[in-house]
Amino acid sequence: MRATESKVPGVHVFTPRLLTDERGAFFESLRTDEIERVVGHPFDVRQINYSVSRRNTLRGIHSVTIPPGQAKYVSCVRGALRDFVVDLRVGSPTFGAYDSNVLDADSGRAVYVPEGVGHGFLTLTDDATICYVLSSTYVPGTQIDIDPLDPDLALPWGFTEPPLISPKDRAAPSLAATLEAGVLSPWTAGG
């Protein structure tokens, strides 16, 4: 696997080495030892989630309060999507900054999202399926939702028609309102 750090500190994009022949392809999708080597701390898997979405579905921006915190390793196992991370760590030199990558089933590319960083995506194909490998289990009441269309974030989603958005995401507060509510985690050295 090749790892590159994104514009948001602590976020890494992992691109596997594809082994191809006339039958198709093989690659290692997840190696926690490689993640730990790159990020400098353990990545203990506690839960795996999938979401399946129609083309032009927008999900996010989502994070989890600390505690309990939740790091994510996200990949697209069917179809394609435009993936976004947003730095939500108060005091971070890149607070409010974002990075984006196209994730698709063919490349096997995945993104490691550390605790305190928000995540969202726009599906580019029908039946797009994303896999979330999570460092903690779901704890009700700890979710942080940010308006994915917050004009202050101005994320370049790239949709050409209004996207499908859940009522929860449509009603999510802006980054400024979430910051004012005091639920975002502080930046710590090393991400």
Query: Annotated active-site positions, please?
Result: 62, 132
Q: How far from chain centre, in Å, is Cα 116?
A: 11
Q: Tokens 């607070």 label which residue?
A: 95
- What is the DSSP secondary-structure string of 121-176? EEE-STTEEEEEEESS---TT-EEE--TT-TTT------SSPPB--HHHHTPPPHH
The H or E element that residue 52 is part of is: strand 47-53
